[in-house]
Structure 1
Amino acid sequence: MATSLKNLSDYNSDQLPDISGKRFGIVVAEWNKTITDALCKGAYETLLTHGAKPENIHRNTVPGSFELTLGSQYMAMSNEIDAVIALGVVIKGETKHDDYICHAVAKGLTDVALKFNKPVIFGLVTTNDEQQALDRAGGKHGNKGVEAAVTAIQMLALHS
């Protein structure tokens, strides 16, 4: 569904499980830091809202979105992490660079999730311009970080 038709921060919390004993890794790209920090804040606050303990939420920073895959693998390797949330931004430019990055990150995060048999959530904002990214990082379309955190919680419920 197109983001313009749905607010990323809207969700039904009725069926979310208790996550007070779960441990989360959040991997955040530094590139487009203002946006990725807003995504991380949304994810972090959502996890706290639903019962995660601050000491059970671990953040790692990677240089850019391409590095989210390896950063997520480092987190997923740990038995101390139950789910990983990868957050980044890719804004379309004058070349096809965005296509290559988005495809690599999507494939890489899927591979990490399957390799370690735990949720690794694709929280990559992919837009045509910076304003669209801001709109999805707490702006008029909500916060993709919130959506990613809720997705992690829902995926943990599947394996309980």
Structure 2
Amino acid sequence: MSSADKNLSVFSAENLPTISQHRFALIVAEWNTDVTEALFQGAYDTLLRYGAQPENLVRGNVPGSFELTTAALWYAQRADIDAVICLGCVIQGETKHNDYINHAVAQGLTNVSLKTGKPVIFGVLTPNTQQQALDRAGGIHGNKGDEAAITAIKMVGLKSELAKE
């Protein structure tokens, strides 16, 4: 289902794990700040709502979405970080830069997750227009930051569950 047909802030909160002892890094791209700050606020508030402690939430800023990959690696390599949430926004614009950036970031974040064995969450919007971005950063389609936070919570829970077996 496309996000145009779904509110990104509506998700199942059943069986969420306890996260009060887990530490999350939230990495925020500074490009398209009005969008990425809204994504950050959605992710931050969602983590707190479901039990994260404010002192266990670490924020890192990067210039743009392309730099999320390197910062994700640095944070994921820290022993005290359980999951990394990457938040950015690459708008289509007049050139194909978004195709290259979005592909590189998606592939890079996947590689970081596989290399470190930690959840690295892709909370990057890839809209065609500024309005589509705003609609997905707290607008009519909810907030992708909420979805990214819930994904991190569920992945941390799954990893903890598997560690017990």
TM-score by length of 2: 0.96
Matches within 5 A, 1:45-60: 45-60=45-60
Q: What does residue range 76-87 of structure 1 map to in structure 2 within 5 Å?
A: 76-87=76-87
Partner of 1:25: 25
3-state DSSP of counterpart to 2:90: strand
Residue segments in structure 2 that go unaligned for 5+ positions in a row: 161-165
Shift of 1:159: 1.1
Aligned-residue offset at 1:157: 1.4
The corresponding residue for 2:154 is: 154
1:128 aligns to what SS in structure 2?
coil
Aligned-residue RMSD, C-alpha: 0.5
Paired residue type of 1:95: T
How many angstroms does 1:14 deviate by?
A: 1.4
Cα distance in structure 1, aligned partners of 2:157 and 2:20: 13
Return the letter of the residue paired with 1:128. N
Q: 1:86-117 deviations in whole A, cap 9, x for unaligned?
A: 00000001111000000000000000001100
Q: Matched residue of 2:45: which SS? A: helix
Q: CA shift at 1:53, angstroms?
A: 0.3
In 1, the alpha carbon distance for the partners of 2:55 and 2:74 equals: 18
Percent identical:
61
Runs (4+) of structure 1 moved beyond 3 Å?
none
Q: Which secondary structure state, in structure 2, belongs to the residue aligned with residue 31 of structure 1?
A: coil
Q: Which residue of 2 aligns with 1:38?
A: 38
- Report what 1:9 is aligned to: 9
State the aligned residue count.
160
Aligned counterparts of 1:49 and 1:138: Cα–Cα separation in 2: 16
